[in-house]
Amino acid sequence: MTLASIVFVAFLRTGPVVESADVTLVTGAGASGAARFVLAGALCGLLAAVVMDLPMSKQADGFTPAYVAAAVLRRVAPESVSFAEAVVVHHVTGALAGVLYTLLYLAVAVVLPPLSAVGGVGLLPHLAATVGVSAFVYSFFAHLVLPRAGRRIYEERATAVRGQWLRSTLVFGVVLAGVAPTLTTLV
């Protein structure tokens, strides 16, 4: 069974997506509950990206991945990107990472037992999705985007940028881990 088919099955299920004892997680009937869960994930990712701004702003090369990503989208050199453009791309990417978290959570929740509830999510699927998304975000920018789009930056400061981006991504993961259980119960 592919990841897409697992997610599709989770979206189409009637009733709760995951149940643990008497606690219903990710409530709602079928697709509408899943849609609210995806919206909550996007909000979690956006909030995690906003909080991630703090460690990024304290590091010399902290916003470099945001500049590089914005440069890729605009098809210009990273030096041509304004700070506002870089921050917008960073925050939109955070929201998309939150959506990826929810899709990964739904896929993992079909396979892994929740063990216990943490707010509105099962513990094991939540931890797996949080670690998976954080690893993906770091790997995607540090090993795919930066070497391909930020050639000069990559050649001059790759190790420093990757180290700073790793620390910032860890902040993203911690915030996502803490916020997702709460926001998924509210949306």
Q: In this structure, is residue 78 part of a structural domain? A: yes
pLDDT digit string, tens, across residues 77-93: 888 999 999 999 999 99
pLDDT digit string, tens, across residues 119-151: 888 999 999 999 999 999 999 888 887 776 656
pTM: 0.79
Full domain range(s) for residue 161: 3-15+25-186
Q: In this structure, is residue 33 part of a structural domain? A: yes
Q: In this structure, is residue 161 part of a structural domain? A: yes
Q: In this structure, is residue 137 part of a structural domain? A: yes
Q: In this structure, is residue 179 part of a structural domain? A: yes
pLDDT band for position 98 (cuts 50, 70, 90) = very high
102, 128 Cβ separation under 8 angstroms: no
Q: In this structure, is residue 52 part of a structural domain? A: yes
At a CB cut-off of 8 Å and minimum separation 6, what does 14 contact?
29, 30
Per-residue tokens: 46: 């956006």
Counted domains in the chain = 1
- Residue 127 CA to residue 110 CA, distance in Å, equals 14
Exposed / middle / buried, residue 121 (Cβ in 10 Å: 0-12, 13-18, 19+): buried
